[in-house]
Amino acid sequence: MAAESDSKPASSGFSSAVNGGRTVEECQDMIRRSLRTPMVKFLREHLEKAGCSIGDKFINAVNCDKQVSGGYVRGDGIMVCSNHMNIQDEVDQVVIHELIHAYDDCRAANLDWANCAHHACSEIRAGHLSGDCHYKRELLRGFFKIRGHEQDCVRRRVMKSVIANPYCSEAAAKDAMEAVWDVCYNDTKPFDRAP
């Protein structure tokens, strides 16, 4: 499902895109660079090993109306919202986060994105394993806490994403997240441990 954006509004002057962000073409180039990073290569390799081959058209830059960074849709692949991207690191993070969703979808034959617990579990894993909640990223978002920042960040981002699921109310999202937290937070596959 979608990786929600906690980032600040885009600065102008970076590209020819209207209202900040990048053009689709610029973002597609950034996606190509992401595909060469070790983490993305690792995740693509493990998707292949799990029986889910992803072709060159699996990850695409698009303009998005909603305030999201990107998303994964079963059967369609990954979209990166070019108009919400400014730097390579943002694109890399979206690609990694969404590849973790694709991996979860691949390895769990019964994953139901309309099930709040299933969605919450994949969001917990993607938030924890992707580096979305690294303390430097949190600091840039204006969140600072010495202890427990990573889990607080993952919880905040899981709630934001699962609440956006039309099948999940805020209460259902919170209950689902709490019910699956320990199992999903500690599930680091395909990594040996959280990166």
Residue 74 CA neighbour count, 13 Å, CB half: 12
**191 contacts: CB under 8 Å, gap ≥ 6:** 129
Domain assignment of residue 151, given as a range: 111-188
Same domain, 143 and 78: no
Residue range 127-186, pLDDT digits in tens: 999 988 875 655 555 666 666 677 888 999 999 999 999 999 999 999 999 999 999 999
The stretch 104-116 carries a mean pLDDT of: 94
Query: Does the pLDDT at position 1 exceed 50?
Result: no
Residues 119 and 61 in one domain: no
- Where among 75, 107, 139 does a domain terminate? 107
Q: Are residues 42 and 115 in the same domain?
A: no
Question: Of the listed 26, 90, 98, 138, which one is catalytic?
Answer: 98
pLDDT of residue 186: 96
Q: What is the mean pLDDT of residues 108-127?
A: 96
For 71, the 3-state DSSP assignment is strand
Active site residue 26: no
Is pLDDT of 36 > 70? yes
Residue labelled with tokens 């919880």: 155
- Give a yes or no: residue 90 inside a domain: yes
Of 105, 106, 102, 108, the closest CA to residue 70 belongs to 102
Residues 27 and 94 in one domain: yes
Question: What's the total number of domains in the chain?
Answer: 2
Model pLDDT, residue 109: 82
The per-residue pLDDT for range 6-18, each reduced to its tens digit, is 332 333 333 444 4
Kindly give the residue spans of alpha helices, DSSP state H, lying in 35-87. Answer: 38-49
- Do the Cβ atoms of 184 and 127 come closer than 8 Å? no
pLDDT score recorded for residue 111: 95
pTM for the predicted model, two decimal places: 0.86
Say yes or no: 124 and 158 in one domain: yes
pLDDT of residue 160: 93
Whole-number Å distance between alpha carbons of 17 and 157: 27
Tens of pLDDT along 38-95?
999 999 999 999 999 888 899 999 999 988 999 999 999 999 999 999 999 999 999 9
**Once rounded to an integer, what is the mean pLDDT over residues 17-46?**
91
Smallest CA-to-CA distance from 104 within 80, 121, 116 is with 121
Among candidate residues 88, 107, 126, the one where a domain is terminated = 107
